[in-house]
């Protein structure tokens, strides 16, 4: 198994109840997983736990042949080799597009770095935007820069937190397809969190439904959601913003 998560659980320090309980999941290389659930179901927390931004109460997690956490080990997020696209992208406002992408690249020659930036920007179809600053970009463009930035260091796994929540519908359809194309082309394993069934249906190879911090169902999109996308998915698209934890 490429990714092996066993019995991962988590609770916030201010509440005794587990926000995530016994989360167990294995993922193949190159697979795209969607974690689907209503807001407050604990799906974003699962993503943050995998990323290493929260410390789990118990369980284990390995990626390839590396153990990233178990009862004895906790690898800091920057050492995990996992990329992440944040819900509101978190593009560094004081850096240009190029600098944002450059920021995460490992040590190599400057010319190699620039080449890599060129590659990933081409992948997300943003050639020529190197010198722009985040606030000069549209929402869709920002999202693609965030994706390029996350892909650039060639992570073994990429996490996407509600990647489409800030996009308008027209843009959404295009970007959703682009994203799947890009991920598949680069053969990147991905986990993305969404509350929207359509997103999951179009993008995922497999869907994990979450309810109250516990896995409700796991399966292929067509098995779980039926063959066709219904309108319900889009209706559920509520503006969900979370208070950033302090």
Enumerate binding residues for other proteins (CB under 8 A): 13, 51-53, 55, 69, 71-74, 76-79, 81-84, 86, 88-90, 92-94, 103-104, 106, 135, 149-150, 153, 159, 241-246
Write down the H helix ranges in the chain. 43-51, 97-103, 110-123, 139-151, 169-185, 197-203, 221-225, 232-235
Report in angstroms the alpha-carbon separations of 195 from 100, 127, 189, 222, 225.
Answer: 28, 31, 20, 17, 13
Minimum separation from the CB atom of position 144 to other proteins (A): 15
Nearer to other proteins, 118 or 218 (CB): 118
**Closest distance to other proteins from the beta carbon of 37 (Å):** 20
Q: How far is the CB of 129 from other proteins (least distance, A)?
A: 18
Please, which residue, 150 or 202, has the CB nearer to other proteins?
150
CA 94 from chain centre, in angstroms, equals 23
Q: Which is nearer to other proteins, 54 or 215 (CB)?
A: 54
Nearby residues of 96 by Cβ (< 8 Å), 6 or more positions away: 130, 131, 132, 133
Shortest Cβ distance from residue 101 to other proteins (Å)? 9
Q: Which DSSP symbol is given to 208? A: E
Q: Between 50 and 207, name the residue whose CB sits nearer to other proteins.
A: 50
């Amino acid at each position: 198994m490429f990714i092996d998560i066993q019995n991962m659980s988590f609770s916030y320090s201010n509440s005794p109840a587990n926000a995530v309980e016994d989360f167990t999941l294995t993922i193949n290389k190159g697979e795209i997983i969607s974690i689907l659930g209503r807001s407050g179901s604990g799906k974003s927390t699962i993503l943050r736990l995998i990323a290493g931004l929260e410390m789990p109460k118990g369980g284990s997690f390995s990626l390839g042949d590396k153990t990233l956490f178990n009862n004895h080990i906790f690898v800091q997020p920057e050492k995990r080799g996992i990329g992440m696209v944040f819900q509101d992208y978190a593009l560094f406002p004081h850096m240009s597009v190029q600098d944002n992408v450059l920021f995460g690249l490992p040590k190599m020659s400057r010319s190699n770095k620039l080449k890599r930036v060129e590659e990933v920007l081409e992948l997300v179809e943003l050639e020529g935007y190197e010198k722009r600053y985040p606030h000069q970009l549209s929402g869709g463009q920002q999202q693609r820069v965030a994706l390029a930035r996350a892909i650039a260091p060639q992570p073994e796994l990429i996490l996407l937190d509600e990647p489409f929540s800030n996009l308008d519908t027209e843009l959404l359809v295009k970007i959703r397809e682009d994203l799947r194309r890009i991920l598949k082309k680069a053969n990147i394993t991905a986990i993305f969190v969404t509350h929207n069934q359509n997103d999951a249906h179009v993008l995922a190879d497999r869907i994990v439904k979450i309810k109250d911090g516990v896995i409700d169902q796991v399966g292929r999109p067509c098995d779980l959601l039926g063959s066709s996308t219904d309108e319900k998915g889009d209706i559920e698209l509520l503006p969900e913003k979370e208070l950033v934890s302090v």
